[in-house]
Amino acid sequence: EKTAETFEFQAEVGRVMDIIINSLYSDKDIFLRELVSNAADACDKKRFLSVTADGDSVDTTPPEIRIKADPDRQAVIIEDSGVGMTRDELINNLGRIAQSGTKNFMEALGDGTADVNLIGQFGVGFYSAYLVADKVEVVTKSMQAGSPQLKWESDSGSSFTISDAEDEDPIEGSGTRLILHIKDDAMQYLESGKLEELLQRYSEFIEFPLSLFKEETTYEKVPDVEANKDLAEGEEPKMKTVPKTVESYVTMNTQKPIWLRPPNDVTDEEYKEFYKAAFKSSYDEPQKWSHFRLEGQVDFKALLYVPGILPFELSKDMFDENSSNVRLYVKRVFINDKFEDIIPRWLKFVKAVVDSDDLPLNVSREILQKSKVLSIINKRLVRKSLDMFYDLAEDEDTSKYIMFWNNFGKYLKVGIIEDEKYKKDLVPLLRFFSSTSDEEYTSFDSYVSNMPEDQKSIYYVTGEGRKNAMQQPVIEKLTSRGYEVLLMTEPLDEITIEAIREYKGFNVVDATKEGLDLEDDEETKKEKEDLREKYSDVCEFLEVELKGMVQKVTVSTLLTGSPAALVQGAYGVSPTMQRYMKAQTV
């Protein structure tokens, strides 16, 4: 006797379903990508557990994915032989939202700034089934020993049911079967031709055998009965070719994983498609990639990408912990994408696949942290990433680096602040506006090459925005001598530039700090002395008048057009920094 238990969806799930069901979103196609990617994840987990678990309950049916349209039932069926789900997992995984970033996504969906296409990145890809189905059944059997076959079912209302499903077609070993009851306005997905087109687009890089149930025509030779009627004694019987239609599962993905192939065998198109598939990034194209293999004391293959735009989840939080960027494999087995020590956090925006033969399959965070292999991989990933950035910076098409800088420049600044060992490599990649650069960025190299003979330091000022920074009175003095002044206008700029201190033998100097020494000759020194004498009474008077507001009042020769200026003491915290620190503590 079947007993179905009813559960309410968590409120957020209800919202997601509402948005999906009512969305006028036309690209319903993405449901297949999402559900196949879940099936592949489940196969990944199973493969991982099969090689690491030491019990005897381990199910050895090979992971694979099968897809079939069933027009008679008006259904599309997606089956995998992955890990499957227990009762608790059904409740937690298909009734609640685990990821914290999902709320952001929904807000963005609500106000129209995000696209349903991004759904997979926010841990709610499963619900895209409701783009094409009005009812979904999930029959599943977990690979945990003794797990029963269960069924989850929901017609997209506010609740779902879970029941025993021993009477459904049995699942061998473990796995999951999704039955999508297709809406009347989505009948095109009942054609295997349509499904095939989508699988070719989305699933070429799925690592497990993925097959589609479809008609295939084969040809065979049979005796030609008509023509053989008046066959003479001993004569060879005549044959004819006839078509034969069979329905069967046909493998859709025949390539081996892209990172295992020799680089000159892989086309640009394939690199781009793989990027989209592997990192669930269907909305941008990678700006650059690097595919290499390291041999020697450590053996590994890697494929690195610079994304085309700042990933959505990083636009709210630079180091969002749900945003994973390095997919680690050991001997082709996906281990996880959450090892933080594999790449420094200032490279959080780079996407990578790393496949190593030198790590144990049951590698844990603890083992990995201590392993020398990890630090070698880490160093190499940084080096290759820097190479990509330098390539972009040197590209004839300067718009490429500007785009890169606008997207990811802040990560390079964090690199300079946090990672002393790469400072030298990172500084030449920095770009700032300057007193003479107008709308263009300048680099330290171009700054230095434009310096007049007599200039002994690199000067910068800080300010909120370029206009504000340019209003610093000290700029007049420096520009009148033909010196360029870098403008530090972003919150991270000041800490970054303070970490640099010197470049190519020139000190990097805050032009607004007291005591800016512009190498005076004897005559000017004398002149200054006289001026100080002459105005000492005025200074004293002002110091008394402004008591508590300024530390001291001195005569300056730095101003040309302005009568007076407020500056900070040599050891003071600049106004920008004060504002930044304030912003951090609220």
Binding partner of 503, given Mg ion, ligand ADP, none, CB within 5-8 angstroms per partner class: none
Least distance (Å) from ligand ADP to the CB of residue 2? 22
Residue 142 or 385 with smaller CB distance to ligand ADP: 142
- 523 annotated among ligand-binding-site residues: no
The closest alpha carbon to 124, from 27, 199, 12, belongs to: 12
118 binds, among Mg ion, ligand ADP, none (CB under 5 to 8 A by kind): none
Kind of pairing, strands 288-294 and 300-306? antiparallel
* 409: Cβ contacts below 8 Å, ≥ 6 apart: 430, 431
Interface ranges with ligand ADP (CB under 6 A): 34, 38-39, 41-42, 80, 82-83, 85, 93-94, 123-126, 176
8 Å CB contact between 497 and 469? no
CA distance 277 to 327: 13
Is 122 a known ligand-binding residue? yes
What does 85 interact with, of Mg ion, ligand ADP, none (CB < 5 to 8 A by kind)? ligand ADP
The set of residues, in sequence order, having a beta carbon less than 8 Å from that of 345 and lying 6+ positions away, is: 319, 414, 418
409 binds, among ligand ADP, Mg ion, none (CB under 5 to 8 A by kind): none
DSSP 487: E
Minimum Å gap between C-beta 566 and ligand ADP is: 53
Does 482 carry a binding-site annotation?
no
The CB-of-48 to Mg ion minimum distance in angstroms stands at 17
> Residues with Cβ < 8 Å from 411, sequence gap 6 or more?
318, 346, 347, 348, 349
100 assigned binding-site residue = yes
Q: Which residues contact 56 (CB under 8 A, 6 or more apart)?
A: none
Q: How far is the CB of 64 from Mg ion (least distance, A)?
A: 18
Q: Which does 286 bind (CB under 5 to 8 A by kind): Mg ion, ligand ADP, none?
A: none
Rounded distance between C-alpha atoms, residue 423 and residue 379, angstroms: 14
> Out of Mg ion, ligand ADP, none, which partner does residue 442 contact, by CB within 5 to 8 A per kind?
none
CA nearest to 356, candidates 339, 111, 188, 345: 339
Q: Tell me the C-alpha distance between 40 and 29, whole Å.
A: 18
Q: Of these partners, ligand ADP, Mg ion, none, which one is at the site of residue 336 (CB under 5 to 8 Å by kind)?
A: none
Q: Which is nearer to ligand ADP, 92 or 362 (CB)?
A: 92
Residue nearest to Mg ion (CB): 125
User: From the CB of 33, what's the least distance to Mg ion, in Å?
Assistant: 9
Residue 410 · residue 317 · CB < 8 Å: no
State in angstroms the smallest separation of the CB of 120 from Mg ion: 5
Question: What distance in Å separates the CA atoms of residue 27 and residue 29, rounded to the nearest whole number?
Answer: 5
Question: Is 80 among the annotated ligand-binding positions?
Answer: yes
Residues found in the chain: 586
CB of 339 to Mg ion, least distance (A): 20
Query: Helical H runs in 358-397?
Result: 365-370, 372-394
Query: Of ligand ADP, Mg ion, none, which one does residue 80 interact with (CB within 5 to 8 Å by kind)?
Result: ligand ADP
- Single out the residue of 542, 583, 586, 580 nearest to residue 563, CA to CA: 542
Establish whether 10 is an annotated binding residue: no
- At position 573, the amino acid (one-letter code) is V
Is 121 flagged in the annotation as binding?
A: yes
Least gap, CB of 114 to ligand ADP (angstroms): 16
Nearer to ligand ADP, 209 or 263 (CB): 209
Is residue 322 annotated as involved in ligand binding? Answer: no
- Do the annotations mark residue 123 as ligand-binding? yes
- Between 175 and 308, CB nearer to ligand ADP: 175
Which residue's CB is nearer to ligand ADP, number 273 or number 337? 337
| Smallest distance from Mg ion to CB 128, Å | 9
63/125 with CB nearer Mg ion: 125
Whether the CB-CB separation of 301 and 293 falls below 8 Å is answered with yes
- Counting beta carbons within 10 angstroms of the beta carbon of residue 264, is it exposed (0 to 12), middle (13 to 18) or buried (19 or more)? exposed
- Give least dist CB 124 to Mg ion, A: 8
SS3 247: strand
Nearer to Mg ion, 37 or 86 (CB): 37
| Host H or E run for residue 291 | strand 288-294
**Residue 38, annotated as binding a ligand:** yes
Comparing CB distances to ligand ADP, the nearer of 63 and 415 is: 63
The whole-angstrom distance between residue 479's C-alpha and the CA centroid of its chain comes to 42
Binding-site partner at residue 93 among ligand ADP, Mg ion, none, CB < 5 to 8 Å by type: ligand ADP
For residues 395 and 414, give the distance between their C-alpha atoms in angstroms, rounded to a whole number: 24
Q: Residue 123 region, left (φ>0) first, then alpha (ψ -120 to 50), else beta? A: left
HSE value, Cβ hemisphere, 13 Å, CA-based, for 237? 10
CB under 5 to 8 A by kind: which of Mg ion, ligand ADP, none does 457 bind? none
Q: Please say which residue, 175 or 473, places its beta carbon nearer to ligand ADP.
A: 175
Is 101 annotated in some ligand binding site? yes
Query: Site residues (CB under 5 A) for Mg ion?
Result: 38, 125
Separation between Cα atoms, residue 382 and residue 205, nearest integer Å: 26
**Measured from the CB atom, is 123 or 575 closer to ligand ADP?**
123
Q: Give binding residues as ranges.
A: 34, 38, 80, 85, 93, 100-101, 121-126, 176, 365
- Pick out the residues of the known binding site for ATP: 34, 38, 80, 85, 93, 100-101, 121-126, 176, 365
